[in-house]
Amino acid sequence: MIYLFIFIPFLALIVINLLPQGEGEFAGWAALAVFSAQLAAAALAACGLIGLGGGWLDQLLHFRLLSDRTGLLLLFLAGLVGGTALLSGWRLRGASRSNFINLLLIALTGINGLALASDLFSLYVFIEVVAVSSFVLIALFRERSGLEGSFKYLMMSALASVLMLSAVACFLVAADGMSFAAVRAALAVPGNYLARAALGLFLCGLFIKGGLVPFHGWLPDAYMSAPAPVSVFLAGIATKAAGLFTLVRLVRLAPASADLSAVLLLVGTLSIVVGALAALGQRDMKRMLAYSSISQMGYIVAALGTGSALGNAAALFHFFNHAVLKSQLFVNAAAVEEQTGTRDMDRLGGLAARLPVTGTTSVIAILSTAGLPPLSGFWSKLLIVIALWTAGHQFYAAIALLASGLTLAYFLSLQRRVFFGRLRPELENVKEAGAALLLPALGLSALTVGVGLVFPFILGMFIK
């Protein structure tokens, strides 16, 4: 059953490419069906309505897959954000459209592989699947800026690959194989320095992949120069899956230690603060969102640094929120760019009058990101702060909390320069974006509000 998560996108890819292309309408619908099916299946499985047991494929394949709630969360988000990205790229035509859909499906397979991998080397391989498809997606239109962003990402990614491969090599020597169980056992041995060094290397590779400070240089360029639908996918799920989800997996393998905590807390808090400060000074809407993304990822890493069960749960919850909120904000940015032809915030203004849906949903998303109750972002930040505080990291907790004031500051400036305020005369004729951009925006903000309202009720289930 669980194999279907990696085979269905793969099969869909083959089927789409074997059938005659036409205008690409069929490919779009087929891909959308794949994403929605994955969304539904992951949600049902998380509720325990579908079993994930083997079946005949199990006999045949002997894959060693891991199916747990954390993985299901990623599968769910991959379906959600992938579908959103697909819809926001719906108006692409011709070769770009089919390339976009093909690469999206490959990346989806990669992400699903990440969710199910039970072995560090598999993890690495699937990170590469996501990364290679991301490089190409960023340069999809073959414009100069896209190629440049893609190249930067490629370079940093290569560096990360080197680090991760060296780590894998070290683990091969220091541990009894590379399965999670073996690595965990090796890390638990006190004197196993090589395994600890490998852990450090792998960690660094993931920091680069995730774009965390001080390895964040590539991220704003890549997000900014990518075509709008691609940046939804990148920011919403691709880099998070490759950099953060894997980090969650890795950190859980290591026994709690002061060193690991210190590094995670430091990198996390640094990302929070540096990302937020850098976002304050941006003019380009997508660039600001990219820096904000760095800042929000910092919260997740800091929460992992607590090493407590509550911290882990909070990190995953923020992971969920962040994926939903960032994809929504990038969808909104796509709508603004599509309708006005610019992302320069100093040339926009008062768009809420012309783009009411986009404006309203973006208010919801920014307030949730800044942690305004009762939206979902508030609860995850609160849990993170409580986890940090009760784990004895009061200082970091205070920084994390105050940084959400910075978050509000830059987002209010975005809102003020783009949506709030009076309409600029030259934007008089702007119209609301099409349904393909509005539907995901509405759906995602409904999710934000809904989760926020329901959260106290599911809190008990959640922290177990």
Partner 1 sequence: MSSGALLLLLAVFVPVGGAFLLPLLGRWSASARNIMAFLLVLVSLACSTRLLLTVLTGQTAVYKFPFPLGMSFILSADGLAVFMAVVSALIGAIIVLFSFDYISHYENQNEYYFMVVLFLGSMTGLVYSQNLIFLYLFWELTAFASWRLIGFYRGRKDVLRADKAFLVTFFGALAMLIGFVFIYQQTGTFDLAAMKGLALPGLVVGLILCGILSKSATLPFQTWLPDAGVAPSPVTALLHAAVLVKIGVYVFARLFLMTFVLGAFWHTAVPVIAAASALIAAGAALIETDIKRVIAYSTVSQIGFIFLGLATGSLVGVVGGLLFILMHGLAKGGLFLSAGIIEQNARTKDITRMGGLFATMPVTAAAFAGCAFSIMGIPPFGGFFSKYFVIAGAVDSGQLWLALTFVLGAVLTIIYLFRLFNLIFLGPVKGIAAREGSRLMVFCVVLLAVLSLGAGALINYPAMAVRAAVAQMNGIVK
Partner 2 sequence: MITMAILLVAMALAALWTVTANLYLRATIALALTSVILTVIMFRLGAPTAAVFELSVCAGLISVIFISVISLTHRLTLQEFLSRRQNRFARFRYLPPLLIAAALAMYFARQPLGVSLPWRETVTDARSVMWDLRRFDLFGQVMVLLAGVFGVVTLFRGAKNRDGR
The verdict on 255 binding partner 1 (CB under 8 A) reads no
Output 139 or 403, the one with its CB closest to partner 1.
Answer: 403
CA distance 98 to 27: 7
378 binds partner 1 (CB under 8 A): yes
Q: According to the binding rule CB under 8 A, does residue 374 interact with partner 1?
A: yes
From 32, 54, 390, 439, residue interacting with partner 1 (rule: CB under 8 A): 390
On whether the CB atoms of residues 97 and 24 are closer than 8 A, the answer is: yes
41 vs 76: CA distance, rounded Å: 8
Instruction: Give the DSSP letter string of 180-196.
Output: HHHHHHHHHSTT-HHHH
Fill in the DSSP letter of residue 212.
-
Q: How far is CA 147 from CA 150, 151, 154, 237, 316, in A?
A: 5, 6, 10, 21, 33
**Window 251-290: residues binding partner 2 (CB under 8 A):** 259, 263
Residue 416 interface partner, choices partner 1, partner 2, none, CB cut-off 5-8 Å depending on type: partner 1
367 binds partner 1, rule: CB under 8 A: yes
199 contacts which partner out of partner 1, partner 2, none, CB within 5 to 8 A by kind?
partner 2
Does 457 participate in binding partner 1 (rule CB under 8 A)?
Answer: yes
Interatomic CA distance for residues 118 and 53, integer angstroms: 16
Q: How far apart are CA 158 and CA 205, in angstroms?
A: 9
Q: Which residues contact residue 346 at a Cβ distance below 8 angstroms, ignoring those fewer than 6 apart? A: 283, 417
**How many chain residues touch partner 2 (CB under 8 A)?**
58
**Please, which residues have CB within 8 angstroms of residue 226's CB and are 6 or more apart in sequence?**
137, 138, 140, 146, 149, 234
**241 is an interface residue for partner 2 by CB under 8 A:** no
The entry of partner 1, partner 2, none near residue 54 (CB within 5 to 8 angstroms by kind) is: none
Backbone phi, then psi, for 306, in 5-degree steps? -70, -30
> Per-residue contact track with partner 2, 156 to 195, x per CB under 8 A?
x--x--xx--------xxx-x----------------xx-
Residue 151, amino acid: F
Among 67, 84, 88, 102, binds partner 2 (CB under 8 A): 102
Q: One symbol per residue from 66 to 95: x for binding partner 2 (CB under 8 A), - otherwise; what is it?
A: -----------------------------x
Give the binding-site size for partner 1 (rule: CB under 8 A). Answer: 32
389: contact with partner 1 by CB under 8 A: yes
The residue from 2, 5, 6, 295 that contacts partner 2 (CB under 8 A) is 6
Q: Shortest gap between Cβ of 366 and partner 1 (angstroms)?
A: 11
CA 276/CA 272 separation, integer angstroms: 6
Shortest distance, position 350 Cβ to partner 1, whole Å: 7
Q: How far is the CB of 333 from partner 2 (least distance, A)?
A: 23
Task: Mention every residue, 6+ apart, whose C-beta is less than 8 A from residue 42.
Answer: 72, 73, 75, 76, 79
421 binds, among partner 1, partner 2, none (CB under 5 to 8 A by kind): partner 1
420 binds partner 1 (CB under 8 A): yes
Q: Rule CB under 8 A: say whether 61 interacts with partner 2.
A: yes
Q: Is the Cβ of residue 181 or residue 310 nearer to partner 1 in the bound state? A: 310
Residue 40 vs residues 46, 78, 184: alpha-carbon distances, Å: 10, 11, 32
Residue whose pair of structure tokens reads 């809102």 in the numeric block: 415
- The alpha carbon of 382 is separated from its chain's Cα centroid by a whole number of angstroms, namely 20
Instruction: Please name which of 123, 131, 121 lies closest in space to residue 170, comparing C-alpha atoms.
Output: 121
Q: Which stretches within 175-257 are classed as H helix?
A: 180-188, 193-210, 218-225, 228-233, 239, 246-253
Count CB atoms within 10 A of the CB of residue 444.
26
E-state strands within 103-220 = none
Residues engaged in binding partner 1 (CB under 8 A):
350, 367, 370, 372-374, 378, 382, 385-386, 389-390, 394, 397-398, 401-402, 404-405, 408-409, 412-413, 416, 420-422, 456-457, 459-460, 463
Name the site residues for partner 2 (rule: CB under 8 A). 6, 10, 13, 61-65, 95, 99, 102-103, 106-107, 109-110, 113, 117, 119, 121-122, 125-126, 128-129, 132-133, 135-136, 139-140, 142, 155-156, 159, 162-163, 172-174, 176, 193-194, 196-201, 203-205, 208, 214-215, 217, 259, 263
